[in-house]
Amino acid sequence: MKWKRRETAEWRRQLSRLLVLALFFFAGILLGQVFSSRVPDTTGDELARYLKDFLKVGEEDLSPRAALSAAVLYFRYPLAAFLLGFASIGVLALPLVTGAFGGFLSFSVCCFAASFGPDGVLLALAVFGLRCVVTLPCYFLLAVPALERSAALACLSLGGGRRAGPALYGREWWGRLAVVAGVLLAGVCADLMLTPWFLRQLLERMLIG
């Protein structure tokens, strides 16, 4: 019975950390919508150029620069969450990074909608949809345990608690990173191959319609 109680208590702690990060994520979404209303009118021209450059990825041979750019977009937030798990400051920085994640996505979608009308939402979905489906679960899969580790380190730095030893970053910690890295790499490859094609099909249908 004791192990069941410990398991239930651990599950509740994990859920509470997830809820904290989720609240910051949705707060970032709201802030992204607020800031998007202040973008200049030239944003539409910039987004049009961005879409043209994006389509070139599918038309030309894949360059190392394009692959690196896609990898950065996929790995930046999950990797930031993982690294913050090694620092006590992560207990404060992780919620802020989570809010920035949500704010960037919301700001981007709102800019597309403001520039291209209702079709802008579909364009944003074509550009960011696959990336969000892959990166969001991966981010929270790393951010939740990272928040736990950083909170423990913060307690230690303030003189509370005892050192947990090597088990603090054991097999589960590194195994989780390996799984997430594999999923992100697969997402990068799928994005480079499928997203330009999907965007091109969507633009053609919009022009025909």
pLDDT at 163 over 60: no
- Distance between CA atoms of 183 and 179, rounded to whole angstroms? 6
CB atoms near residue 103 (< 10 Å): 22
Contact 73, 131 (CB under 8 A): yes
Q: Which one-letter amino acid corresponds to residue 86?
A: F
- Cβ atoms of 140 and 17 within 8 Å: the answer is no
Q: Tell which wins on pLDDT, 44 or 186.
A: 186
- What integer pLDDT is reported at residue 44 of this predicted model? 64
Condensed to tens digits (0 to 9), the pLDDT of residues 19-78 reads 999 999 999 999 988 887 776 666 666 776 777 766 665 555 567 777 888 899 999 999
| Main-chain phi, psi angles of 86, to 5 degrees | -95, 5
Whole-structure pTM value: 0.84
Q: Band the pLDDT of 195: cuts 50, 70, 90.
A: confident
**pLDDT-derived band of residue 167, with 50, 70 and 90 as boundaries?**
very low
